[in-house]
C-alpha cells in the first residue's frame, strides 16, 4: 500500500474548505464565499450551531476519503457528536452527494447560499444530524449510541467497515461505556468491521472531559484491557496531524484486513485485537483563538458557535470575518462557487462516497423475511378456556424457523433473558453469539450465534437500531419492567422514524419489534422491582403513524400478532405476552379474525344477547383471564345480570381514528362498548392510559378502568391481581356495583353477592399466607358453561 | 496490623452457617435445622430464590466482618446482585441485627423457622433486597447502580468506607460501566472511600459473562487504565480463598487509609490510585455439583435456586438434603437454634455491624437544610406580563446561597448542563467537582466543588440516590428531554420510596428533586431530539404519596416551588422551568398564594366576571404565555366573549383527591373550571395526561387539551408552538370554536375572527421562513389592558 503522505497539503486545503463551510453555515445567509466585505445584514438573526468538534470531524472525513479512494473499500460513517452536523453537511456538499439528494442546493453560488442559509433555519435543516442527512443512520442528539449503531450496522455485512467517531463527552455516558465490549460479539468471518475513532478534544458543554485529562498510557491500558489495539494521533499542527492520521488509518485498515484474512485462512482462534484510533486535537481547532481576552480555541468555549452576537457587535464581526477568511475560501472555490477540481478529485466517487453509502439507506438493501406459515404452530383449542399452553414457548418454535429460513438478515437481541422468557426453541438452530473464550461445557455459545445476549438493554437496542437502519430485521426480547431502561432510546427511535417517513428518498425499513415477557403480572417470582408496565406509556405518546401496541391474550393470538409485526415496515411494534402456562381462548381462525379486527366481543364468554347491563373490557393476558373468570362467576351466581366480554388485542383501536390510524370508527366502537352502558375495563398497564385513549368516544366517563396500581412484591400470581384490585373477585364486585345503577331491581341479590365475593378475597388472603400458594379453585379454574355447573 | 490468617477455619465455619441459611430460606417452611429427616412437606410449595452469587457474597460479608472487628471502621455494604438477598439476610440474622429490627424473628428455632418460611412467601419478605432489609440502601433488582449508590453514600462522609459488590453480569450494563469513572469525583480529603469488590463468577442468568471470559491480565489493564489498583483473589478452595481475601481486604484497607493520610499531610496532588478487589469464585460454589447428569456448581445453572422440584422429585429431595447437610448445621447452631457463641464472636458489635449502619438509614442522620429566605430573591412585578426575567438564572442565586449555607450536605448533580441551564450563579461560591488533572485555564474546577458534573444522567441519578439515602440533600438538574434516560431509575426510586414509607423504622429522607430546564418548548436551538416532555408521564403513574409535579410559570413561582421541594421528605419532586428571558406574571406574594393553592384563576387576565363562555386552563411556562396572549387577543378583538384564565402550578391538584393527596376537592375544582363550560387546556407535555388526571371530575369530555404533539425541529420559539398547534392564535381559534356552541349569537363575529387568526398563522409561517426570526409583534408582546389598546 502506498503510504506516501507527500501531497498532504492538498488534503489540508480540502480540510480548509470543509472547515470554512462548517463555520459559514452558522452565520451566513448571504455572501457565502465572502466575496464582498462581511456586513451585519449578511448574518442570520439567530446564529446557531456547534463548532468544537467540527474541525476534528472534517479531518477524519477527509482522511477517510483518501483511504477509500485508495482501497475502494465500503465505509459507513457514524458521527457520535451529531450536534456538529455542519461539518458532515460540509463534506456531503463538497463530495457532491448533498446536491444529488437535494438538487436545489446546487454546486454554485446560489446553491452555496441556500446551503448556508438553510442550516438551523425555520423550514430549513436541523442543527443536528437527522434522517434528512444523506449517509446518516445516526442522529447523535442524545449522546451515547454511536458505537452501538456502528456495530449493529457491521453485523452480517462482511464487506463493510464502519468508522465511528466517539466523542469524549459521549464516552462518559453509560451506553457508550458499555458498548466498547461489542467486540466480544463481532465475528470477522461473517461480520464487517468497526473502526472506533475516539475523538478526545477535552471539551464537552462547559468543561473538560474525564478522558481528556487521562494520560495516554492510561487510555492505552484501558483499551488494551478491553481487547483493542489503540493507535494515538495527537497534536495541533495541521500538516503533521493529517500525516499522522493518514498513517494511522492505513495501518488500521491493514490490521482489519489482516484479521479478516487470518480468520478465513486459519479459522477464528480467539477474540481478534481490533485496531482503534485515539485522536487528540484541540476543541475548536483553527477557530478564534481569543475573544474579549478569553481563550476560545482549545477550550470547551468552542463547543457552540463562537461570536454569536457578531450581528450586533462590530468587533466580533471583524473577528468572524478574519477567522472565516483564514481558510482562504477564494482559493478553494472556483469562479462559479464550486470546489476546485483538484480538490474534488480527492473525494471518492459514486457509491463509495460516504454520503451515498447504500448501507445508510437501509431500506434500499432490505430483503423481505422468508416467513414460515405461523398457523402451523397453532395450539388446538376445542373449547375456549379449557386447555393450557405457554405462549412465548410456542412462539419460540416459530421464531426458530424464522431464524432457520433467514440465516443472514435476522437476529434476536436480548439482555440475557431468551431462555428465561421461554424462547429456548431458537437454540435448536442457533446459539448465543460470543466471540471470546468458549468452553466445551458451555451451552449454545458460538461466534456464529444469532441470539445477541449482553446484559445491557441499551446495547441490545442500539445494536438492533443499527441493524435495522442498515437494512435487516430483528426482535428485541426483554422483561417488561426493564424495557423502561429503553424509554429514551425508543423515544429517539420514534423521532427518527417520524422524520424518516416524511423523506421521499428514505426507503422503508423493517419495524423495531419488542417482545416483552415476564411482565408485570407474572413477576411474582422476582418481586416489586420487576413489576413495571410503564414502557407502554412511553410509546403511546409517540406519533400515531409510528407506534403499534399489541396485547395478545393467548398463544394463537400471539402467533398471529408476531407474524404481522415481522412483515411491517417503519413502525415500532410493542408486543407483550405471557411465558407461563395459560389458558387458550381462541383457535387459530378466531385468533386471526380477532387480530384483524383489533378487538371483539367474546360471545362465548358473554350472556348479554346484545343488551349488556355491563361491558367487561379487557386488554392483556392476565386481565383477560381475570375478566373471563369474573364473567363466569357472574353468570354462575348472578345469571340475571347481562354481561358482555370485549377483548382488545390492538390497543390503539380504542383511540378515535383522528388520533391513531388504527382507531376504529364510532359505529364499531359502539358495537363493542354500546353508547351508554357502564364499562369495567381490566387493563394490563397503568389504568390512566385507557382514559386517555377513549377521550372523544361516547360518554367516556362511564369507563371504569382497573390496572396496575404499583402494588406488588414476591407472592403468588393470584395475590398480585388481588393486591392491585383487578382479580376476578374485585371485577365481579365492581361490575355489580356499576351495573346496579341501571338494574336497581337486582339490588338485593347484587349486594349479597358483593358480600360473597368480598369474603372470597379475605379467604384468599388467609389461604396464601397459610399455605404459601394459591387456592385450588383459582389454580385449577377453567372455563365451563357457568349456568349448568 | 495483624495479618494472621491462622484461625481461618473458624471463618469458614461462619461462612458455612451463612451458606446454609442462604439456601435453607429457598426451601424450608419447617425443620429449619434438619433435625429430622427432610420430607416433602417441610418444603415450600413455591421454591424461590437466587443461589449463584450467595456463597461469594457470604465470603465477602464474613471477611468484612473480620476487618471491621479488627479496625472498628465504619462500613456500609452494597450488594450489586440484590437478587441474592437470602445471603445478606442470612448474615443479618447471624449477626443479630435482623432480630433487633424484627423481634419476632428470634434467635431460636421458632425464629429460624419463621426466618426461612417468610422468604419469598406471600405476606413475607421479597426475594430481592428492599427497603425492608436492615443495612441496605440498594435494591439490586434492576442491575447497574451499585457502584453509583456506593459513591453517592461516600461523598461527604469522610469516616465511611463503602464496600460495593459488583457482579460480572451487572458490569455489562451501561450505568455500571460508566460508574467506574466515579473515582474522578471522589476527594479523599472530604469524602469517604469506596472499595469495589468485583465478583466475577462467570455467570449471569443463562450464560457466561464477558468479564468472566477475560484474562486476569486484561482485567488488570482495564482497571489500571481507569486508575484503580486491582487485587485479585481467585479459586475454589474455601480455606485458601478465605485467607486470600483476608489479606486482600487488609491490604485494601491499608491502602485507603494511606491515601487519606497522604492527602491530609501533603494535600491532594493527583487522582489517588484506589484499591479494588477482583474476586473470581465459582457460580453456585459449594452447591450441588451435578443434578441429573448436568453440571450445576461452577456454571450459570446455579443462578437460581437449584432443585426447584424437590417436593415432587424424591431423588432431588435427597440431593437437597445432603447438600444442606454438607454445611453441618448441627455443628453450627446450638441446642436452642442459635449460632454457636465462638462463631458469633466473629461478628462486629452494635453500630459497627453492617446491618446496623446508621448510614443505611439515612433519615437518622438527616440534618435539615439551612435555607435562605427565598422571597429575597424575588423579581419585582408591578404589572403582570410586562417585565422580563430568566427564571433559572434567578433561581441560581438562591441555590448559590443554599450551597453557601450548607457546605457539607447539599450537592447539585448535573450532566454537564449547569451553565447551559443558567444556574451559573452557583459558581460564585463553588466549583465543578473534579479529582483529576486541572489546568490554570480551567473555569470553576476543583476537587472541592459541590457541583457534580459528568456527562451521564445515570451517574447523576445514581450518585444522588446514594447521597439521599445516606442522609443528605440534593438537586438533579437536566435538560428535560434527556431526563427520560432516567425513566427506569426514577421508577425504581419511586418503588423504593413507596415501601420505605411503610416501614416504621425507616426515618424520612430528603426528597429527590429534579429541576428540568431547556425544556421541550425552548429547545428550538438543538431541535427535535432535544424536545421531549415524556418524563412527566413516567412519574405520573407512580404512587400518589410519592410524586409531586410542579410547572411554575414564572420566576417568583419557581422560587416558591423550589423552597417547598427542598423542605419536603420522602418524595420525588419534579420541577420544570424556563431558562430564557420570560415575562413575569406574579409578584412574590401572589406567587406564594398561588403555590399554596396549586392553581388559581388569574383575574387580571380574565374578563368573565364569574361566568365564562370558555375557560382557558394552562400549566407550564410557555403554554401559560400562549394562553395569556390568547386571552389578550380575544379580549382585544372579541370583548363580547367571556374568557377566564386558570393557571395550574401543582399538576396533581387536577386529580380527584381519591387518586392523589394534592387533588383539590370538587367545589374548588368547580370554582376554577365550572361544572359544564368548555375548557381549553394548554399543557406543557403530551396532551393525553390531562385527560387522565381529570377522570372523575364533572363532565370531563368538555376538556380539550393542547400540548406537545411530537412536532419539532430547529426553528424559532414561536414556530415551535405553531407547529404543535398550541400558539396563541391556535388557542384563540379553538376557544372561539368551543365557546360558540354556548354563545351562538356571536357566531358571525366569531367566524370572522377565526379567519383572521388563521391568516395570522400563515403570516407567521411566511415571515419566519423569510426573515429567519419571529415577527416583532410576537417577540415584543407584553400584557396590556386589551380593551383600551
Ligand atoms: C445524553 C445526553 N446528555 C446531555 C446532552 C447535552 N449535550 C449536548 S453536547 C454535550 C457535550 C458533548 O461533548 P462531546 O461528546 O465531547 O462532544 P464534542 O466535544 O465532540 O462536541 C452535551 C452534554 C446530550 N446531547 N445527550
Ligand atoms: C437491568 C437488568 N436487566 C436484566 C435483569 C434480569 N436479570 C436478573 S439477574 C440477571 C443475571 C445477573 O448476573 P450477575 O450480575 O453476574 O449476578 P450474579 O452472577 O452475581 O448472580 C439478569 C440478567 C436485571 N435484573 N436487570
Ligand atoms: Mg469533546
Ligand atoms: Mg455473575
For ligand 1, atom 16, the nearest C-alpha belongs to: A169
Across A537-546, B144-153, B651-660, the highest mean pLDDT is recorded for B144-153
Alpha-carbon distance B676 to A337, whole Å? Answer: 65
Q: Hey, which bits of B620-691 come out as E strands?
A: 643-648, 679-683
Is residue A21 domain-shared with residue A68, that is, in the same domain? yes
Look at A32-36, A149-153, A738-742 and tell me which has the smallest mean pLDDT: A738-742
Residue pLDDT, tens place only, A585-615: 999 999 999 999 999 999 999 999 999 999 9
Specify the length of chain A in residues. 789
Alpha carbon separation from A615 to A599, A630, A647, A696, B509 (Å, rounded): 13, 12, 10, 19, 45
Cell of A286: 483553527
Ligand 1 atom 10, closest CA: A205
Residue of A nearest to B773 (CA): A45
Q: Is B400 contained in some domain? A: yes
Chain A residues whose beta carbon lies within 8 Å of the beta carbon of residue B295: 441
The C-alpha cell that represents B131 in the structure block: 427497603
> In this structure, how many other beta carbons lie within 10 angstroms of the beta carbon of residue A737?
16
Tell whether A246 and A160 lie within a shared domain. yes
What pLDDT does residue B511 have?
98
DSSP assignments along B18-62, one per residue: HHHHHHHHHHBSS-TT--S---GGGB-SS---B-TTHHHHHHHHH
Q: Which 3 state secondary structure label does DSSP give B420?
A: coil
Helix (H, G, I), strand (E, B) or coil at A124: coil
Range A273-280 average pLDDT: 98
Which pLDDT score, from 0 to 100, does residue A789 have?
45
- Is residue B788's pLDDT more than 60? no
Closest CA to A230 of A281, A185, A196: A196
Would you place residue A4 in the very low, low, confident or very high pLDDT band (cuts 50, 70, 90)?
low
Its sign, for the CA torsion A647, A652, A657, A662, is: negative
Q: What gap in Å lies between CA B571 and CA B180, rounded to an integer?
A: 29
Q: Tell me: the pLDDT tens digits for A287-323?
A: 999 999 999 999 999 999 999 999 999 999 999 999 9
Do B523 and B623 reside in the same domain of the chain?
A: no
Calculate what percentage of chain A has a pLDDT beyond 90.
96
Largest CA distance in chain A: 99
Dihedral of CA B521/B523/B528/B530: which sign? negative
* Band of pLDDT at residue A2, cut at 50, 70 and 90: very low
* pLDDT for res A5: 63
What's A767's domain CATH number? Answer: 3.40.50.920
Q: Are residues A131 and A32 in the same domain?
A: yes
Measured in angstroms, the CA of A243 and the nearest CA of chain B are apart by 28
Using the 3D structure, point to which of B530, B552, B582 is the last residue of a domain: B582
Give Cα separations from B92 to A377, B89, B341, B499, B695 (angstroms).
50, 5, 16, 20, 46
pLDDT of the residue at A788: 54
How distant, in Å, are the alpha carbons of A175, A673, A680, A742 from that of A612?
Answer: 52, 9, 12, 10
Of A181, A686, A714, the CB nearest to B127: A714
What pLDDT score does B450 carry? 98
CA distances (Å), origin A437, targets A441, A520, B423, B593: 12, 36, 50, 66
The ligand minimizing its distance to the Cα of B200 is 4
Q: Are residues B150 and B291 in the same domain?
A: yes
Reading across the β-sheet that carries A445-446, which strands appear in turn? A445-446, A432-433, A451-453, A410-414, A473-479, A512-517, A572-576, A547-550
Last residue of a domain, one of A528, A550, A582: A582
Residues 6 or more apart in contact with residue A245 via CB below 8 angstroms: A59, A60, A63, A233, A277, A279
Task: Count how many residues are written for chain B.
Answer: 789
Q: How far is CA A212 from CA B159, B351, B431, B449, in A?
A: 31, 42, 18, 19
CATH of residue A512: 3.40.50.970
What pLDDT does residue A478 have? 98
Mean pLDDT value across chain B: 96
Under 8 Å CB pairs connecting chains A and B tally to: 374
pLDDT per position as a tens digit, A332-355? 999 999 999 999 999 999 999 999
What radius of gyration do chain B's Cα atoms show? 30
Task: Give tens-digit pLDDT for B88-127.
Answer: 999 999 999 999 999 999 999 999 999 999 999 999 999 9
Residue A723: list chain B partners with CB under 8 A. none
Strands (E), B202-345: 228-234, 274-280, 290-291, 294-295
Does A455 contact B528 at a Cβ distance shorter than 8 Å?
no
C-alpha cell at B691: 385527560
What pLDDT shows up at residue A7?
A: 86
Please give the pLDDT value at position B692: 87
For residues B772 and A311, is the Cβ–Cβ distance under 8 A? Answer: no
Helices (H), ranges, B678-746 = 688-693, 717-723, 728-740
Distance from CA of A674 to the nearest CA of B (A): 17
pLDDT of residue A549: 98
Same domain? A279 vs A389: no
Neighbours of A161 (CB within 10 A): 23
Instruction: Say which residues have a Cβ less than 8 Å from residue B519's Cβ, sequence separation at least 6.
Output: B479, B480, B481, B533, B576, B577, B578, B622, B684
Rounded to whole angstroms, the Cα distance separating B142 from B490 reads 11
- In this structure, are residues B37 and B278 in contact, taking their beta carbons and an 8 Å threshold? no
The ligand with the least distance to the CA atom of A54 is: 1
Contact between residue A538 and residue B534 where contact means Cβ atoms under 8 Å apart:
yes
pLDDT value at residue A86: 98
Look at chain A and report how many structural domains it folds into: 3
Burial class (CB in 10 A: 0-12, 13-18, 19+), B34: middle
pLDDT of residue B150: 98
Same domain, yes or no: A163 and A309: yes
| Per-residue pLDDT, B1 | 41
ipTM for this model: 0.97
Asked whether residue B593 is domain-assigned, the answer is: no
Atom 7 of ligand 2, residue of closest alpha carbon: B205
- Which ligand 2 atom minimizes the distance to the CA of B283? 19
At residue A281 the predicted structure's pLDDT band, cuts being 50, 70 and 90, is: very high
Q: Which residues pair with A601 in a beta bridge?
A: A646
pLDDT digits (tens, 9 = 90+) for A681-731: 999 999 989 998 999 999 999 999 999 999 999 999 999 999 999 999 999
In this structure, the answer to whether residues A330 and A390 fall within a common structural domain is: no
Residues B701-712, mean pLDDT to the nearest whole number = 95
pLDDT on residue B2:
47
**CB contacts, 8 Å: A526 with chain B:** 83, 127-128, 141
Summarize the confidence of residues A752-767 as an average pLDDT: 98
Q: Which candidate from B123, B124, B221 shows the least CB-CB separation from A224?
A: B221
- The strands making up B614-619's β-sheet, listed across from edge to edge, are B599-601, B643-648, B614-619, B679-683, B703-706
Q: Does the residue B786 lie in any domain?
A: no
- Ligand 1 neighbour A172 (Cβ under 6 A): no
DSSP A584-647: ----HHHHHHHHHHSEEE-GGG---TT--SEEEEEESHHHHHHHHHHHHHHHHH-TTS-EEEEE
Q: Residue A285's Cα: distance from chain center in Å? A: 34
**Per-residue DSSP letters for A656-716?**
-TTT-TTPPPHHHHHHHH-SSS-EEEEESS-THHHHHHTTTSSSGGGEEEE---S---S--
Scanning the structure block, which residue is given the C-alpha cell 453469539? Answer: A433
Single residue among A553, A582, A611 that ends a domain in this structure? A582
Atom index in ligand 2 nearest the CA of residue B488 equals 1
Q: B254: helix, coil or strand?
A: helix
Long-range contacts made by residues A315-324, C-beta under 8 angstroms, separation at least 24? A316/A291, A317/A38, A317/A39, A317/A40, A317/A43, A319/A288, A319/A291, A320/A27, A320/A38, A320/A288, A321/A34, A321/A37, A321/A38, A323/A23, A323/A287, A323/A288, A324/A20, A324/A23, A324/A24, A324/A27, A324/A34, A324/A38
Q: Are residues B201 and B276 in the same domain?
A: yes
- Probe site for chain B from A529, A696, A761 (most B CB atoms < 10 A): A529
What is the rounded distance in angstroms from the CA atom of residue A726 to the CA atom of residue A705? 9
Helix, strand or coil for residue A650? strand
Cell of A732: 365481579
Distance B287 CA to ligand 1 centre (A): 47
Could you give the CA distance from residue A378 to residue A694 in angstroms, rounded to a whole number? Answer: 33
What is the reported pLDDT for B543? 87
Residue B608 pLDDT > 60, yes or no?
yes
Whether the Cβ atoms of residue A653 and residue A598 lie closer than 8 Å to each other = yes
Statement: residue A46 has pLDDT above 80: yes
- Would the CB of B419 count as within 6 Å of ligand 1? no
Task: Report the alpha-carbon distance of residue A403 to residue A411 in Å, rounded.
Answer: 7
Is residue B67 predicted with pLDDT exceeding 70?
A: yes
Distance from CA of B6 to the nearest CA of A (A): 36
| B294 and B324 belong to one structural domain | yes
10 Å Cβ neighbour count for A110?
14
Segment A512-547, tens digit of pLDDT: 999 999 999 999 889 999 999 999 999 998 988 999
Q: Do B222 and A221 touch (CB under 8 A)?
A: yes
pLDDT score recorded for residue A26: 98
Do A608 and A550 belong to one domain? no
Residues 6+ apart with CB under 8 A from B8: B239, B242, B243, B246
Ligand nearest to the CA of B212: 4
Measuring CA to CA, which residue among B266, B261, B193 is closest to residue B228?
B193
**Domain presence at residue B199:** yes
Angle, to 10 degrees, between the axis of helix A391-405 and the axis of helix A555-567? Answer: 30
Interacting residues of A784 by C-beta distance below 8 A, sequence separation 6+: A386, A632
Of A125, A416, A689, the CB nearest to B205: A416
Q: Is residue A786 part of a domain?
A: no
- Cα A479 to averaged position of ligand 4 atoms, centre (Å): 18
Is A247 exposed, middle or buried (CB count within 10 Å of its CB: 0-12, 13-18, 19+)?
middle
**Domain-located, residue B760:** yes
- Give residue A786's pLDDT: 74
pLDDT above 90 covers a percentage of chain B that reads 96
Pocket test for ligand 1, best of A143, A199, A283, A495 (most atoms within 8 A of CB): A143
Of the candidates A219, A454, A485, the beta carbon closest to that of B488 is on A485
Instruction: Kindly state whether residue A411 falls inside one of the protein's structural domains.
Output: yes
Residues A436, B214: C-beta atoms closer than 8 Å: yes
Distance between CA atoms of residues A712 and A722, nearest Å: 10
Taking an 8 Å cut-off on Cβ atoms, the answer to whether B224 and A225 are in contact is: yes
Q: Which of A28-37, A322-331, A371-380, B685-694 has the lowest mean pLDDT?
A: B685-694
The answer to whether B618 and B552 have CB atoms below 8 angstroms apart is no
The pLDDT, as a whole number, for residue A644 is 98
Out of A176, A481, A526, name the one closest to residue B127 (CB): A526
Beta strands A547-550 and A512-517: pairing type?
unpaired
* Claim to verify: residue B517 and residue B440 sit in the same structural domain: yes
* DSSP conformation class of B184: G
Task: Give the pLDDT mean for B238-257.
Answer: 98
With 0.95 as the threshold, say if the pTM is over it.
Answer: yes
Q: Which of B501, B683, B700, B714 to mutate: most A Cβ within 10 Å?
A: B714
Q: What is the pLDDT of residues A416-448, one digit of tens each?
A: 999 999 999 999 999 999 999 999 989 999 999
* Residue A367, domain member (yes or no): no
Quick one: CA dihedral A658, A664, A666, A670, positive or negative? negative
Per-residue pLDDT at B482 exceeds 50: yes
A221:B219 CB<8 A? no
Of all protein residues, the one whose alpha carbon is nearest to atom 12 of ligand 2 is B204
Identify the pLDDT of residue B7.
Answer: 86
| A369-381 burial code (b ≥16 CB/10 A, e <16) | bebbebeebbbeb
In this prediction, residues B614-639 reach a mean pLDDT of 98
The whole domain housing A402 covers 374-582
Q: Is there a contact between B750 and B736 (Cβ–Cβ < 8 Å)?
A: yes
Assess whether pLDDT exceeds 70 at residue B5: no
Q: What is the DSSP string of B543-607?
A: -TTTEEEE---SHHHHHHHHHHHHH-BS-EEEEE---S-EE----HHHHHHHHHHSEEE-GGG--
Amino acid at each position: 500500500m502506498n503510504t506516501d503522505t507527500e501531497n498532504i497539503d492538498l488534503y489540508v486545503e480540502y480540510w480548509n474548505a470543509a472547515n470554512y463551510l462548517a463555520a459559514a453555515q452558522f452565520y451566513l445567509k448571504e455572501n457565502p464565499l465572502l466575496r464582498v466585505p462581511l456586513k451585519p445584514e449578511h448574518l442570520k438573526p439567530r446564529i446557531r450551531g456547534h463548532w468544537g468538534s467540527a474541525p476534528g470531524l472534517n479531518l477524519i472525513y477527509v482522511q477517510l476519503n483518501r483511504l477509500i479512494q485508495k482501497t475502494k473499500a465500503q465505509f459507513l460513517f457514524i458521527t457520535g457528536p451529531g450536534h456538529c452536523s455542519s461539518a458532515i453537511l460540509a463534506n456531503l456538499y463538497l463530495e457532491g452527494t448533498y446536491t444529488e439528494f437535494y438538487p436545489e442546493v446546487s454546486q454554485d453560488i446560489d446553491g452555496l447560499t441556500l446551503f448556508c442559509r438553510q442550516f438551523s433555519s425555520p423550514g430549513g435543516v436541523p442543527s443536528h444530524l437527522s434522517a434528512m442527512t444523506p449517509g446518516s443512520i445516526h442522529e447523535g442528539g442524545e449522546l451515547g449510541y454511536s458505537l452501538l449503531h456502528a456495530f449493529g450496522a457491521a453485523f452480517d455485512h462482511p464487506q463493510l467497515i464502519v468508522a465511528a467517531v466517539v466523542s469524549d463527552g459521549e464516552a462518559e455516558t453509560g451506553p457508550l461505556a458499555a458498548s466498547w465490549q461489542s467486540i466480544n460479539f463481532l465475528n470477522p468471518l461473517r461480520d464487517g468491521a468497526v473502526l472506533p475513532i475516539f475523538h478526545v478534544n477535552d471539551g464537552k458543554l462547559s468543561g473538560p472531559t474525564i478522558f481528556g485529562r487521562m494520560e495516554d498510557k492510561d487510555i492505552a491500558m484501558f483499551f488494551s484491557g478491553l481487547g483493542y489495539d489503540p493507535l494515538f494521533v495527537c497534536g495541533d499542527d495541521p500538516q503533521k496531524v493529517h500525516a499522522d492520521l493518514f498513517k494511522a488509518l492505513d495501518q488500521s485498515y491493514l490490521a482489519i484486513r489482516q484479521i479478516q484474512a487470518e480468520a478465513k485462512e486459519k479459522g477464528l482462534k480467539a477474540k481478534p485485537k481490533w485496531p482503534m484510533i485515539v485522536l487528540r486535537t484541540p476543541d475548536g481547532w483553527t477557530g478564534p483563538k481569543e475573544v474579549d481576552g478569553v481563550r476560545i480555541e482549545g477550550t470547551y468555549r468552542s463547543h457552540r458557535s463562537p461570536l454569536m452576537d457578531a450581528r450586533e457587535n462590530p468587533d466580533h464581526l471583524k473577528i468572524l470575518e478574519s477567522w472565516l477568511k483564514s481558510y482562504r475560501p477564494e482559493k478553494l472555490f472556483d469562479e462559479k462557487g464550486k470546489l476546485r477540481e483538484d480538490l474534488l478529485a480527492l473525494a471518492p466517487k459514486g457509491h463509495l462516497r460516504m454520503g451515498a453509502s447504500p448501507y445508510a439507506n437501509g431500506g434500499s438493501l432490505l430483503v423481505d423475511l422468508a416467513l414460515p406459515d405461523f398457523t402451523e404452530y397453532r395450539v388446538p383449542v376445542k373449547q375456549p378456556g379449557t386447555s393450557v399452553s405457554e405462549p412465548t414457548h410456542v412462539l419460540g418454535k416459530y421464531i426458530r424457523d424464522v431464524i432457520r429460513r433467514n440465516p443472514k438478515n435476522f437476529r434476536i437481541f436480548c439482555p440475557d433473558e431468551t431462555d428465561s422468557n421461554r424462547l429456548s426453541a431458537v437454540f435448536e438452530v442457533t446459539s448465543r453469539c460470543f466471540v471470546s473464550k468458549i468452553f466445551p461445557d458451555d451451552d449454545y455459545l458460538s461466534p456464529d450465534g444469532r441470539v445477541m445476549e449482553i446484559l445491557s438493554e441499551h446495547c441490545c437496542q442500539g445494536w438492533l437500531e443499527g441493524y435495522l437502519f442498515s437494512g435487516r430485521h430483528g426482535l428485541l426480547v426483554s422483561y417488561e419492567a426493564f424495557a423502561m431502561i429503553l424509554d429514551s432510546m425508543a423515544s429517539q427511535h420514534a423521532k427518527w422514524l417520524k422524520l424518516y417517513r416524511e423523506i421521499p428518498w428514505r426507503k422503508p425499513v423493517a419495524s423495531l419489534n419488542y417482545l416483552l415477557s415476564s411482565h408485570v403480572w407474572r413477576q411474582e417470582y422476582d418481586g416489586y422491582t420487576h413489576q413495571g408496565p410503564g414502557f407502554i406509556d412511553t410509546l403511546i405518546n409517540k406519533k400515531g403513524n409510528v407506534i403499534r401496541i399489541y396485547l395478545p391474550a393467548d398463544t394463537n393470538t400471539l402467533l398471529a400478532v408476531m407474524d404481522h409485526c415481522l412483515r411491517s415496515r417503519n413502525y415500532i411494534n410493542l408486543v407483550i405476552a405471557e411465558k407461563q402456562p395459560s389458558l387458550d381462548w381462541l383457535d387459530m381462525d378466531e385468533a386471526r379474525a380477532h387480530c384483524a379486527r383489533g378487538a371483539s366481543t367474546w360471545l362465548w364468554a358473554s350472556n348479554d344477547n346484545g343488551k349488556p347491563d355491563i361491558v367487561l373490557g379487557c386488554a392483556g393476558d392476565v386481565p383477560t383471564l381475570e375478566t373471563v373468570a369474573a364473567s363466569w362467576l357472574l353468570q354462575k351466581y348472578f345469571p340475571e345480570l347481562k354481561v358482555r366480554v370485549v377483548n382488545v388485542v390492538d390497543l390503539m383501536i380504542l383511540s378515535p381514528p383522528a388520533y391513531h390510524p388504527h382507531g376504529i370508527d364510532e359505529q364499531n366502537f359502539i358495537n363493542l362498548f354500546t353508547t351508554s352502558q357502564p364499562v369495567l375495563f381490566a387493563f394490563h398497564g397503568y389504568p390512566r392510559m385507557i382514559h386517555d385513549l377513549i377521550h372523544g368516544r361516547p360518554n367516556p366517563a362511564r369507563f371504569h378502568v382497573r390496572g396496575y396500581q404499583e402494588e406488588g412484591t414476591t407472592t403468588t400470581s393470584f395475590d398480585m391481581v388481588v393486591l392491585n384490585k383487578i382479580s376476578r373477585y374485585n371485577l365481579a364486585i365492581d361490575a355489580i356495583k356499576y351495573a346496579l345503577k341501571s338494574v336497581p331491581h337486582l339490588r338485593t341479590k347484587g349486594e349479597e353477592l358483593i358480600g360473597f365475593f368480598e369474603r372470597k378475597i379475605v379467604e384468599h388472603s388467609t389461604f396464601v399466607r397459610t399455605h404459601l400458594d394459591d387456592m385450588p379453585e383459582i389454580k385449577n379454574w377453567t372455563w365451563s358453561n357457568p349456568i349448568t355447573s
